[in-house]
A = this chain, B = another copy of it.
Amino acid sequence: MDSGEAWPPQQLNLTAVPQFPLVCAGDDLAQLLLSRLPAPDAAAGAGLAAGAGLGDGAGLRDGDVLVFAQKIVSKAEGRWVRLADVAVSQRAQALAAQVGKDPRLVQLILSESRRIVRAARDVLIVEHRLGFVLANAGIDQSNVAPAGEGECALLLPLDPDASAERLRAALAERSGCRLGVIIADSFGRPWRVGTVGVAIGVAGWAAVTDLRGQPDLFGRTLRATVVGHADEIAAAASLLMGQAAEGRPVVRVRGLAAPQAMSDSRALLRAPGQDLFR
Residues of A within 8 A of B (CB): 1-2, 4-5, 7-19, 22, 36, 38, 46, 52-55, 118, 120, 123, 125, 132-133, 135, 141-146, 186, 188-198, 208-209, 211, 214-218, 220-229, 231-233, 235-236, 238-240, 243-245, 247-248, 256, 267-270, 275-278
Given A1-B38, A5-B19, A15-B9, answer yes or no on A238-B232 (Cβ-Cβ < 8 Å): yes
Contacts of A269 in B (CB 8 A): 191-193
Contacts of A120 in B (CB 8 A): 276
Complex Cα spacing A120 to B274, Å: 11
Does A195 lie within 8 Å of B36, measured CB to CB? no
Does B12 lie within 8 Å of A143, measured CB to CB? no
The listed residue (B2, B191, B267) touching A275 by CB distance below 8 A is B191
Given A1-B19, A190-B133, answer yes or no on A195-B225 (Cβ-Cβ < 8 Å): yes
**Copies in the assembly, this chain:** 2
Does A9 lie within 8 Å of B54, measured CB to CB? yes
22 contacts between A and B (CB under 8 A): A7-B52, A8-B53, A10-B15, A12-B14, A14-B236, A142-B220, A142-B223, A186-B227, A189-B189, A189-B228, A190-B275, A190-B277, A191-B275, A192-B231, A192-B270, A193-B226, A193-B269, A225-B243, A227-B238, A232-B235, A233-B239, A235-B236
Does A277 lie within 8 Å of B240, measured CB to CB? no
Extra contacts, 12 of them, besides A9-B15, A222-B244 (Cβ < 8 A), are A2-B19, A13-B14, A142-B221, A142-B223, A143-B220, A144-B220, A192-B228, A192-B270, A195-B227, A196-B196, A231-B235, A239-B256
